[in-house]
Amino acid sequence: MEKGLSRLIGRRWADLAATRLMFVATVFVASVAVFIGIGLLLKSWPILEARPLSELLFSSVWCPSRGEFGFYPFIMGTLWVTGLAGIIALPLSLLSALYLAEYAPNKVRALVKPALDLLAGIPSVVYGIWGILALSLGGISIGFNVLAGGIVLAIMVIPVVTSVSEEVFRTVPRDIKEASLAVGATRWETAKHVVMRASLPGVAAAVVLGFSRAFGETMAVLMVVGNVARAPSSVMDPAYPLTALIANNYGEMMSVPLYDSALLLAALVLLVMVLVFNVAARLALARVQRRWA
């Protein structure tokens, strides 16, 4: 009796310790982004004191030697490239995931899944070199511009969104799909109205994961977008995303006053853009779920 009681107490203590340990780990992981944001804010504070935030965000003039730091061209370059990548990647990713989950034979799925995992693990600089050879200097010759950056970024995002979405689609219970087919729905109607609706939270998470990576992608994008500090007005114009600005210039010209602080402010702006994108995606998902409920 005493041994059984001691074992029960030991198991409860072990359960409590595991719960506390997991809580601490969760808090630590969640607080990393907060600490990064605070660190970037402290480092970029000198330029925020010297220049109004509205001037920094909406000025188009970038001339550090004259003390002019306008981030508007870089913010617009980031939005143009990422937005174009989303327009290209989302339909291809979701349709590919639906095909693999609902239509593809097991042999096809067994061949495609490792290929997706391989594409997702390729270093970004390899995609950048491929972009230069295939899109900028090859037979297509579209030049160094937003279109080249969007295509390369879309190819980088597609494997991530497709792979995660396919796994989510396959978790939908077979009973639900068979019930839809039993009342006369076609396979496409079942996939569109049943599988997609049931998988919406997971698909949204896959999209957020893929495009959070797209916002922060550096090497592949800076190699093909042209890196001209001017806000693009079409997909054929060159661009200069925030990531390329930081990668190209950090460590150089640090003798220029406020230059280091300006680049760290660019990193903070990029972090805020990713945060806003994630929050907006979650709010849109919640609205869609309420409408479909």
pLDDT tens per residue across span 192-232: 888 888 887 778 878 887 877 777 777 778 888 888 888 88
Say if CB 246 and CB 266 are below 8 A apart.
yes
pLDDT of residue 280: 76
Kindly indicate whether the domain formed by 72-292 is annotated with CATH number 1.10.3720.10.
yes
Chain-wide mean pLDDT for the chain?
A: 82
d(CA 182, CA 88): 35
pLDDT of residue 8: 65
pLDDT of residue 206: 81
pLDDT interval class at 92 (50, 70, 90): very high
pLDDT of residue 290: 66
d(CA 70, CA 63): 8
For residues 264, 52, 278, 97, the Cα torsion angle rounded to the nearest 10 degrees is -70
User: In the chain, where are the structural domains located?
Assistant: 2-50, 72-292
Q: Do you know the residue count of the chain?
A: 293
d(CA 128, CA 117): 18
pLDDT interval class at 185 (50, 70, 90): confident
For residue 172, the SS3 value is coil
**Span 135-158, pLDDT tens digits:** 655 555 667 888 888 888 898 889
pTM for the model: 0.82
pLDDT interval class at 246 (50, 70, 90): confident
Is the pLDDT higher at 243 or at 215? 243
List 226's β-bridge partners, or say none.
239
Q: Is the pLDDT of residue 2 over 70?
A: no
Cα dist. 177→61, 105, 168, 192 in Å? Answer: 56, 17, 14, 11
d(CA 64, CA 258): 8
Q: Residue holding tokens 């107490």?
A: 9
Spell out the alpha helix ranges (H) of 68-199.
72-98, 106-121, 124-131, 146-170, 174-182, 187-190, 196-198
Q: Which two tokens stand for residue 187?
A: 């396979």
